[in-house]
């Protein structure tokens, strides 16, 4: 009897540093992130423009935008192009989340006015469908950050948390709910005298084998020490994404042999993708090879039975 069990012993992987940093206004989140050299900085609220010399001297570059689609295209370019940058800094992510909301609010308002001829469409509550679109866009951005072969530092504003009787019970980050789950490392930044102290709020690691102490002085040297200089300084490798021709080929194969939607959904989940367009070249070639091998007879029959075009 052939076993259907497919689990294997996982290999040890030195993952890129992907961290989420938040703190109160004025604590110095921007200047803290800028300590990482050779960085591609996406500044969403012009907080980095006062540090031009610091950016230039560290071999970093600055791109300013608060438009989601514009920023997403920059990250896609970092993913597939050869470059010398080691770290992507998004400062802060809060603005991008608001940009996505604004984008879909305008679309829903326009749609409501066209369908219902209502002048007060902007006063409507668009409900779960609206938030589904917002989350879908934001998740697409997160997936890009995971695929990116770079260190990633994402900052966010801080906000107060209130309990019963409107009494303050603590603080948290001001961005999409669940951002702390997405990142391997979450730090809250505090200013103590002249030092900036990172408080480790979350770290994915083997039990008893965490890299970072509960609190430490935030500086680049400490990150090299705790996380590993080889990993942080490693050259970024471009990722080959699926081509248009490969996507068309896979779609044609799926339709030809009638691959069940449940199977396609499993492929998308495994690849952490919304559509075949989000596949890497490696992922899409595996799917193509699977269909061609498993349905070889069906595909040959289909090719034979196709009528020849005139003049061919």
Task: Judge whether residue 266 has pLDDT over 60.
Answer: yes
Report the DSSP pairing between strands 18-23 and 151-162: parallel
Confidence of residue 190 (pLDDT cuts 50, 70, 90): very high
Query: Which pLDDT belongs to residue 225?
Result: 96
Query: What confidence score (pLDDT) does residue 146 get?
Result: 87
Give the C-alpha separation, 16 to 145, whole Å.
Answer: 11
Tell me how far apart the alpha carbons of residues 159 and 23 are, in angstroms, rounded to a whole number. Answer: 9
- Judged by average pLDDT, the poorest of 8-22, 82-96, 132-146, 296-310 is 296-310
**Other CB atoms within 10 Å distance of the CB of residue 142:** 18
pTM: 0.81
* pLDDT at site 167: 80
Residue with tokens 């969403």: 44
Which of helix, strand or coil describes residue 300? Answer: helix
Judged against a pLDDT cut of 60, whether residue 96 lies above it is answered with yes
pLDDT band for position 81 (50/70/90)? Answer: very high
**Of 68-82, 92-106, 277-291, where does mean pLDDT reach its minimum?**
92-106
114-118, 160-164, 208-212: the lowest-pLDDT one? 114-118
Residue 247 pLDDT > 80:
yes
Residues 77, 148: Cα–Cα separation, whole Å: 10
Radius of gyration of the chain (CA): 24
* Segment 67-88 mean pLDDT: 93
DSSP reduced 3-state for 149 = coil
In this prediction, residue 302 has a pLDDT band, given cuts at 50, 70 and 90, of low
Confidence bin at 124 (pLDDT 50/70/90): low
Whose CA is closest to 239, among 284, 277, 280? 280
Most distant CA atoms of the chain, gap in Å? 82
User: What confidence score (pLDDT) does residue 130 get?
Assistant: 79
**Partners of 18 in the β-ladder:** 152
Give CA–CA dist 183/204, Å, rounded.
9
DSSP 278: G
Domain positions in the chain are 18-233, 244-304
Tell me the mean pLDDT in the region 131-154.
87
Q: Could you give the CA distance from residue 201 to residue 188 in angstroms, rounded to a whole number?
A: 7
pLDDT at 312 (0 to 100): 46
Give me the CATH topology for the region 18-233.
Answer: Rossmann fold (3.40.50)
- Report d(CA 156, CA 92) in Å as an integer: 5
Q: What is the pLDDT of residue 174?
A: 78
Closest to 267 (Cα-Cα) out of 257, 256, 278: 278
- Structure-block tokens of residue 200: 């480790």
Q: Residue 260: is its pLDDT beyond 90?
A: no
To 10 degrees, the CA torsion angle through 144, 82, 95, 185? 60
Please give the C-alpha separations between residue 8 and each of 15, 267, 269, in angstroms, as whole numbers: 19, 19, 19
**pLDDT score, position 120:** 53
Residue 288 has pLDDT above 60, yes or no: yes
Q: Which of 217, 153, 152, 156 has its CA nearest to residue 25?
A: 156
Q: How far apart are CA 241 and CA 166, in angstroms?
A: 49
- Average pLDDT, whole number, for the chain? 85
pLDDT of residue 123: 46
C-alpha to C-alpha distance for 74 and 151, rounded to whole angstroms: 15
Work out the average pLDDT over 265-271.
87
pLDDT over 50 (residue 63):
yes
Confidence of residue 114 (pLDDT cuts 50, 70, 90): low
């Amino acid at each position: 009897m052939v076993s259907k069990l497919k689990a294997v012993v996982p290999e040890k992987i030195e993952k890129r540093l992907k961290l989420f940093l938040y703190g109160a206004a004025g604590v110095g989140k921007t200047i803290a992130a800028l300590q990482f050299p050779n960085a591609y900085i996406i500044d969403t609220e012009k907080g980095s423009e006062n540090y031009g010399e610091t950016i230039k001297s560290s071999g970093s570059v600055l791109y300013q935008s608060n438009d989601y689609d514009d920023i997403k295209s920059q990250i896609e370019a970092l993913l597939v192009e050869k470059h010398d940058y080691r770290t992507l800094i998004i400062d802060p992510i809060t603005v991008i989340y608001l940009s996505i909301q604004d984008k879909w609010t305008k679309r829903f308002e326009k749609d409501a006015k066209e369908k219902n001829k209502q002048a007060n469409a902007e006063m409507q509550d668009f409900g779960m469908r609206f938030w589904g679109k917002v989350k879908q866009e934001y998740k697409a951005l997160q997936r890009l950050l995971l695929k990116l072969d770079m260190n990633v530092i994402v900052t966010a504003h801080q906000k107060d948390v209130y309990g019963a009787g409107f009494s303050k019970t603590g603080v948290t980050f001001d961005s999409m709910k669940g951002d702390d789950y997405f990142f391997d490392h979450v730090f809250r930044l505090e200013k103590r005298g002249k030092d900036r102290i990172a408080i480790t709020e979350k770290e994915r690691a083997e039990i008893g084998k965490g890299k970072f102490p509960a609190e430490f002085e935030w500086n680049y040297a400490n990150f090299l020490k705790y996380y590993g200089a080889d990993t942080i300084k490693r050259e970024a490798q471009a990722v080959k994404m699926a081509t248009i021709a490969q996507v068309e080929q896979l779609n044609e194969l799926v339709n030809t042999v009638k691959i069940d939607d449940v199977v396609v959904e499993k492929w998308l989940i495994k690849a952490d993708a919304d559509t075949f367009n989000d596949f890497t070249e490696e992922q899409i070639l595996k799917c193509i090879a699977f269909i061609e091998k498993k349905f070889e007879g069906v595909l040959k029959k289909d090719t034979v039975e196709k009528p020849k075009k005139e003049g061919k």
